[in-house]
Structure 1
């Protein structure tokens, strides 16, 4: 039997790499178009800790799914108790580590109805993850904003959105680049539509923070919603786009708007010293789609 919606309970946040066998088992037992939730069972109280955990978990999941030849499986990392607010969770497969008691901390009334598989984690030395200075707590700001293209939705997008969802208490404003600003993008013929990108963003956020109000806005200029919505407390940016946060605060100051606290998260697969040349990006994913399409055409 193949499953369509699996969940893994991850408790040992110091040995994330050891959960590779659990992800492999989930992929083995799941359909290629299934979803995989990885629940961090241990409480996460600071943004800098969440940032590094997300990067480690998503990277491990993506690499493992590539090896199992099921990269299409939709992966989401859940944190704290927000999974309890999911209206109709459809998990049909639960993967547990044989050596911990994480099931006792999984507060889901129908858990006994889910097919459960126990898997032994691999040997892995505990790793001390390097954390940034931003130790902001959960729900520290009433209204948080962030923005992006969100084309070919990838792990970097998921981390940015999760950081915003972690910080926001009442509302998360998400700027999504409108189609008209993407005319000069590379491989633009493979760009996804604004409506599709908005749908994917909302679907993801409504799953990881069902209790949070999400306000999507089209970005049609450099500032997007942060340039005309005054009631925003903070902005989440990636390390690559810090300058954009500075520009936005300057623009808001000229309009007499409050200054935004800028929270910075890391970039997957890139280093500041080399200009983030190897970062995970939508452009690279469009390029791969372009090359795959032309390779197929050439073979006909």
Structure 2
């Protein structure tokens, strides 16, 4: 089952009441862990910081509903900008206005009343505009069982990048000591998941996948990279990359920091969303079967 919920006018959206509509979607449709929910944002964004804030709220809200139903692995994609909405293969579409259905050319749809508040809540006007600021950007990670945190990181990186995004994906030889390693996805599967998400999000962007075989990966050697996108918990890694580049006579990278989804810095991000936790869930499911 694949469905999409369309949202617009985010500045007046009441995020505190949005879970009701995600729950309505679950009631109407037969979702399972093989299902997929797309949240499509019709607003235009100018700031990566504002986008990061919105993505965190939307992914958290939708995931909370799915977790309450025991749907730990159901895929959620928040899409925006010039995403490939016309090519989405949907079973059902939820739109806040009848007129919006023409963008999707889909006959199975339902109009819902988008929850709004009086006045403005999350205005992007006070954020620095940086859309497509860099021609070439980079980020890295394991991207095992691609999850909401990965997707926010990829989304912000794609938003900042006009031409090419270099994605370093940890090679299997560096993952030998990972917990629940038997449930770790192979490199090709992880790479395909990243490429598929980026093709939905920003089809015109060139996505170059590079295996990471050392600490820096491509960011330590590729001169064309202008920006490195990291999560808040891996800022030190970005600092190490810049020290390495300067030692090699390469230019220093701008570091763009994305918030961590779940958890707190004070406790070492113990409650953050992680691939390790997803592999543990898969192990528990296997043991119960």
2:182 is equivalent to residue 181 of structure 1:
no
Q: Report the Cα distance in structure 1 between the residues aligned to 2:283 and 2:123, rounded to whole angstroms.
A: 36
1:156 partner SS? helix
Instruction: Map 1:116-265; keep pairs closer than 5 Å.
Output: 116-121=109-114, 128=121, 135-265=128-258
Q: Where does residue 275 of structure 2 map in the other structure? A: 282
Query: Structure 1 pair 123/140, CA: closer, same or farther in 2 (3 Å)?
Result: closer
- Given candidates 260, 263, 271, the residue that maps to 1:270 is 263
Q: Where does residue 90 of structure 1 map in the other structure? A: 89
> What TM-score does the superposition give when structure 1 sets the normalisation length?
0.86
- The count of corresponding residues between Structure 1 and Structure 2 is 284
- Tell me by how many angstroms 1:218 deviates: 0.2
User: Which runs of 5 or more structure 1 residues have no equivalent in the other structure?
Assistant: none
2:35 partner SS? strand
* Contact 1:46–1:137, Cα closer than 8 Å, also in 2: yes
Q: Where does residue 29 of structure 2 map in the other structure? A: 29
Q: Report the Cα distance in structure 1 between the residues aligned to 2:75 and 2:30, rounded to whole angstroms.
A: 11
- Tell me by how many angstroms 1:8 deviates: 1.1
- Tell me by how many angstroms 1:60 deviates: 1.0
1:21 partner SS? helix
* Contact 2:137–2:165, Cα closer than 8 Å, also in 1: yes
* Contact 2:4–2:93, Cα closer than 8 Å, also in 1: yes
Q: What is the root-mean-square deviation in Å for CA atoms of aligned residues?
A: 2.5
- Tell me by how many angstroms 1:20 deviates: 2.1
2:57 is equivalent to residue 56 of structure 1:
yes
* Contact 2:95–2:101, Cα closer than 8 Å, also in 1: no
User: Which runs of 5 or more structure 2 residues have no equivalent in the other structure?
Assistant: none
* Contact 1:151–1:191, Cα closer than 8 Å, also in 2: yes
* Contact 2:50–2:127, Cα closer than 8 Å, also in 1: no
Query: Structure 1 pair 123/145, CA: closer, same or farther in 2 (3 Å)?
Result: closer
